[in-house]
A and B are shown apart, each in its own frame.
Chain A
Amino acid sequence: EVQLVESGGGLVQPGGSLRVSCAASGFSFRSYWMSWVRQAPGKGLEWVANIKQDGSEKYYVDSVKGRFTISRDNAKKSLFLQMNSLRAEDTAVYYCARPSAFDREGGYWGRGTLVTVSS
């Protein structure tokens, strides 16, 4: 069974940093693109970033470029999102996902971890 479990969310001050993680199991993690998607309170889904199987390609939504970095550790079956220079508008539930657009058996999501940026 495919499982994605996020961790590392919490309260951080504006301008601060936070690293969220995702532990994957139940599939060959190194074989798939992975993504981070976020959802601000009461708002819709927003794709944040994705990363190729070997980490050689990474893409970001414009609003986080230069502030967020996606990475992965295939040996540990883990996905990461390093978030710097955080703003109030980054407050959201952050979901780890195996994106459906990159494999027809994808579309798996974790339960998410809440990141709150507030003073």
Chain B
Amino acid sequence: SYELTQPPSVSVSPGQTARITCSGDELPKKYAYWYQQKSGQAPVLVIFEDRHRPSGIPERFSGSNSGTMATLTISGAHVEDEADYYCYSTDSSGNLEVFGGGTKLTVL
């Protein structure tokens, strides 16, 4: 089955740039999406179709997708950005959805 691979954890100081990667063989052909999940809450979409931000998501969140790797960048991370982040995409058929294992972002 298709897999998306993320680092388990990333740590930055407030104001620094955080980068979270996601690798998958189908990413050259399929869009990547990113979800933020804070403790005890439902996930929130922060990036769709590789690089677009839904309304209400701060400009410091950006995304890119090149080759087999997608990247979520948080420029000037805030303490409130501390959360688990999941990449998401589909398999080659476009019908089966898949999540990466998640990355715990620590901002302190």
Interfacial residues, chain A to chain B (CB-CB below 8 A): 35, 37, 44-47, 50, 57, 59, 61-62, 95, 99-101, 104, 107, 109-112
Question: Which of B16-24, B69-77, B93-101 lies at the binding interface?
Answer: B93-101
Q: How far is the CB of B70 from chain A (nearest CB, A)?
A: 13
Which residues of the partner chain B approach A62 to less than 8 Å between Cβ atoms?
1
Residue of A nearest to B103 (CB): A44
The interface residues of chain A lying within 8 Å CB-to-CB of B98 are 47
Is B97 within 8 A of A99, CB to CB? Answer: yes
Q: Which 3 A-B pairs have the closest CB atoms?
A: A107-B45, A47-B97, A44-B102
Contacts A44-B102, A107-B48, A110-B42; A100 near B88 (Cβ below 8 A) = yes
Chain B contact-residue range equals: 20 to 34
- Residues in B78-100 with C-beta less than 8 Å from chain A: 84, 86, 88-90, 94-100
Q: Are A104 and B49 in contact (CB under 8 A)?
A: yes
Q: Indicate if B15 sits at the interface (CB-CB under 8 A).
A: no
Where chain B touches its partner, the secondary structure class is: strand
CB distance from B38 to the nearest CB of A (A): 13
Q: Jot down 14 A-B pairs with beta carbons below 8 A, ordered by A.
A: A37-B99, A44-B99, A44-B102, A45-B102, A47-B97, A47-B99, A50-B95, A61-B1, A61-B96, A100-B33, A101-B90, A104-B48, A104-B49, A109-B44
Bound CA–CA A8/B67 (angstroms): 42
Is the CB of B54 closer than 8 A to any CB of chain A? yes
Query: CB of B43 within 8 A of chain A?
Result: yes
Which of A44, A101, A110, A111 contacts B97 (CB under 8 A)? A101
In this complex, what residue of A is CB-closest to B43? Answer: A109
Instruction: Indicate whether B31 reaches chain A with its CB closer than 8 angstroms.
Output: yes
Residues of A within 8 A of B54 (CB): 107
CA distance A111 to B86 in the complex (A): 17
| Complex CA–CA separation, A47 to B31 (angstroms) | 17
Expressed in whole angstroms, the minimum distance between the Cβ of B9 and any Cβ of chain A is 13
